[in-house]
Amino acid sequence: MNEINLIAAFLIGLAGSVHCIGMCGGVMSAFTFAAPKDANKHHFVLSYNVGRILSYSMIGAATGYIGTIVSSATNTKIPILDYISITFLVLLALYISDIWKGLSVLEQLGSHVWKRIQPLSKLFIPVKNLKYAFMYGMIWGYLPCGLVYSALTWSLASGGAIKGAMLMAAFGLGTLPSLIAISVGANSLLPLMQHKVTRNLVALFLMLSAVFLIFT
């Protein structure tokens, strides 16, 4: 995995997160109000998002490790994993640019698992302290999201557990601006991130990244 993959992962999270505001934005807003009135809400929001991104990284480590096992099993570097990586970069570009939204189907696949995990979040409501905020974020990091699942599929070809974790951490960091903007009421930043030109520029970068990976 090289730097261009980390940049691409960050941009996927940055541009793609505006599509998830409808799903995650409500959770973020509700969480902010659930924090203690006398607490520094910014600290709670940060703790929540650290937990969420850690969940992404943990799953990324698992998928990256699975990718290496599959590669080792065939005693060679499997081109199909690279092809999957490239394919999902293209599909993510189409998703972010609103040309094709087929990746949303992946959310349905994870909904069954989410039904078993989501009740655990009630253990940390009300959000009494930063530890509760962190754990709440970790649980909601498993919320079904086609964008997250696509990035995870991409991490299969990352080259190992650590690289898979790094890839998903970069993706998670990219989602921060949108969600933090909602939590602190800085909604004026969202139009810029949602603008068609912004999304298309990110989509173009992803397409170019896919081409780069084909010839490297």
Per-residue pLDDT of the chain (216 residues; tens, 9 = 90+): 567 789 989 988 888 776 666 666 667 767 767 677 777 888 888 999 999 999 999 999 999 999 888 878 766 555 777 788 888 889 888 988 888 888 777 777 788 888 899 999 889 988 889 999 999 999 999 988 888 888 888 888 888 999 999 999 999 999 988 888 777 665 566 676 667 888 888 889 889 888 887 887
The predicted pLDDT at position 186 comes to 54
**Looking at the whole model, is its pTM more than 0.75?**
yes
Q: Is the dihedral of CA 198, 52, 123, 38 positive or negative?
A: negative
The predicted pLDDT at position 82 comes to 78
Q: Output Rg (C-alpha) for the chain, integer angstroms.
A: 17
Q: Which residue has the tokens 């959310």?
A: 107
The predicted pLDDT at position 188 comes to 60
Which of 214, 215, 205 has its CA nearest to residue 4? 205
The predicted pLDDT at position 17 comes to 75
What is the Cα–Cα distance from 183 to 46, expressed in whole angstroms? 10
